[in-house]
A and B are shown apart, each in its own frame.
Chain A
Amino acid sequence: MSILDEGFRAPGGPSRNRPHGNLAVLRLAVIGMFAVLAIRLVDMQIINGAEFARRSEENHIIQKNILPTRGLILDRNGEPLVQNVGVYSAKILPEVLPESKDARYRIYLKLQDLVGVSPLEVQARVDEAEAAGRGYIDITIATNLSKDQALALEEASVDMRGVTLAITPGRNYVAGPEFSHILGYIGPQTAEEAQVLGEAGYQLDEPVGKDGIEARYEDDLRGQIGYNAAEQDAQGRLITQVGTKDPVPGNTLELAIDMELQQYVAELLQDSMADTTGIWGPATIASAVVMNPNTGEVYSLVSIPTYDNNIFADSRNRAAELEALSTDNNTYPFLNKALSPAAPGSTFKLVTSAAGLMEGSITPSTSYYIGCRLEVKGENDILYEYPDWRCHDQMMDVRTGIAWSSNIFMWLTAGGDLERVRGLGKDVETSATILASWARRFGFGQVTGIDLYGEDPGRVPDPGWKRRTYVGEGFNPGENEWFLGDTYNMAIGQGDVLATPLQIARMTAAVANGGKLVTPHIVNRVVEPDGTTVRTITPKLEEVGVSEEYIQVIREGMLGSVQYGAGARGAISAASVAGKTGTAEFFKKDGSKSQHAWFTGFAPYEDPEVVVTVYFDIGVGGDKAAPVAAKILQYFMENVDR
């Protein structure tokens, strides 16, 4: 013991002088260092503690969103027009991929076997994403995988770190391409959309409606996103369930559209386009609107040529097809022709007649002798000749004028002849302005308000518009003046007037229902998945301002057109049809002259139930459009449940 205790007392050991160090410095150091740490802790735990607590929470609570089932779309008879399907995609999360180049390349090669994408392409996309610091975002490398591919991928992905099979909600449009313009399609969000939608609570991989009903009724169709929150440890294992919220499926839309009618009309239009017996050759574009004149329910809205809207979901595999569609600059297949404007031709004469009657330039009994042409003496006594489309050679009142679609009668009604007959107004310009204002009352020059995007307002010209438009490069000085010829052109729906088939249908509906402008709508009812009605689209009507008496005169003229006049081929056996043909001249792209063919009418005459408007870009109204309209009406009267 003692050797350990006091054994080395003296020799060899260090000298033992009295200690003299100042230990205050040491005490200060201890206090100072702990003070520094304590101050730092106050900052971290007390001042910023709540923020760290939030980050800790975020760290380990992961919320997995569950996308809702998108609402269905049914036709008026409850026939489904779309199906919800799962779209299988192969995704890569670059961050999770193995570090080594070799291991990565083995994965890329395996992916080539499984889903058929080139390893170089995948590599390029992964490298690009990592270089841009987006390694934490999934890259979709193949989509629309078949069930077999998806299964194989799911199995193999166990050994491929960073590769996953993703199932996103998709749509299968089952009713046929003739519904594409109405239904639209869904697709991934664009970068700009994502910004707005993200704020609205959308998940980044959630598809959105891109066009048609899918886009217009996005809010109804989407439903509410659900989630599944769980606690996750640092290895990514889920530990405990924290909370869940079931997604709420989207609402079902019941359309006014009749599926079979729509298919029938589309087929009919396509067949008639191919018919080359007319003098102008085959048509390239056609559209038709079938609607209820009293409620605005659209039974059918067809635009030809159309496209298969399933193409967008499979754009990678059908790229060539998509490319061809989007570069077709002759017929623009994606454009809904029922909502795109063209010169309305003689269908516009209904407006001219109504304006004449209301403004007093004609009365129901005013009649003129109409020959082959109208001669108007202009300035300097120059005689201008305005030929009608045929030599009528008879006395005409407004009824026969409509029935035979007399240009001269409408010219006199709208613009007068500057001598004996007074037009709508005291001079050329006021006449035009008055006619334009009546056109607007009938819904021209503005959108109809249908529940679809992309509607064109068409155009109603007037002297002010011409003054503003016909100036500048390419125009002679004074060319922007309004001439009598401009009024005449407008009176018969030529020149600068442009209207969409839907606007023509709406105007026709106003005549059919006794003078009320109706807002067309595709969707009738929004229904919750359990069948509860969310809302019903009610008819919206506004008065055009034409008296019942005069509307009746115009109706008589339209009845005459089908019974004995220019629209005789619009007659059917199932009901009495009233109609109006239209043949509008236009210049084709190559500069040659051609004509648009129109027919718009309603049936039954006594108690109108349906309005039909048919348009072909090339053809003669009475020959091309009227027979098609007749078939549609016949079909409608016999088959459509109203």
Chain B
Amino acid sequence: MTSMKDTWKELEKELPQRKIQTLKENTKGMKAAEKRKFLEEKLEEYRKSKVEPGEPVGLLAAQAVGERATQMVLRTFHIAGLTGELSVPQGMPRLKELLEVRHQPKMETCKIQIKKELNGNKEKVKEIARDMEEVTLEEVADVQEDFNEKRIIINFNEKKMKKQNLKPEEVAAKIKDKLRKKPEKVEDDQAIFKPKASTLKSLRRYTQKAKTARVKGIKGIKRATIVERKQGNKKTYEIHTDGTNLRNILKLPEVNSKETYSNSIREVQGVLGIEAARKVLHLEIQENLKAQNITINDRHIMLISDAMTRKGELNAIGRHGISGEKESVLANASFETQMRHLLTAAQKGETDPLKGVAERMIVGEVIPVGTGSVELRMSNQKQKKK
């Protein structure tokens, strides 16, 4: 008879790690013979619950999400700005954004965790948040053009400068980089630049450039708010931003770079790689649905996010993404913009092997799903052996 250890080893070959864990916990204190029988039954049960080969899992996932999403359109709550947190579009608009992998989602936000030593210190966190916000010259100074002398006069607003903890020299240095010209004069309340502008029009252009020059903060962070989190009776603070720049935020020394999160899938793909993007996609979809009180089995969403990241980059669901990449002409034509697909296929003289579901349905063949996916064929190898 095999030992208990071997039995577990056998199980580990087939069962996922989490199942093994719960089984180990639940069988504590059972007699060996009883335990063995129990485990055998459990293994049988697991095998039965597995998805059978040929099951159209993609279709099931689409249905699972699609059905719930229809309900969601009807009962998405509309919340008018509450709590200090920034509002991300919810419900259907957000789900669409995620599945289509939009280039500019409505609200991109970073949830920034601060290092443990600092995250209880409200003042310090406030300071970090303030230093993060993007400030343009326009916000701290009055910018004027002197058309006679063809120069730009910047009058600093002392109050605003103080609030942002900025010094005129620093600001002037930033403007210098932007205009590629040394300032003529820098004083406490004024700085004068004389760019190489021959016409008034080009002077105006330089002024616009100076006005929108970033004098402080991280590019892309429009606003940063601090959010209180309670852990037992200890209060901790984290920063939520409007606009993201994960790459630069992770570089900050005060930030806990391990836990900081961004809800922009594209950005995460660029900074942390495709696997991280898949994870964020999964988390975002699930969180979005949860907020609407909808539960969809995790497996469906994992399948969708796996399909979207299969090529090593993000592919949208829809005609430009995974649905448009099918090899079959008829399958492509059965989904949006039929004429275009058929015309280009005719031009190029493409052939359709009729292997997929959609095209087989069109011509009235058995579809390759379930028992239809099996074919009988003579094995070449065995023939050779004889």
Q: Do A and B come from one complex?
A: no
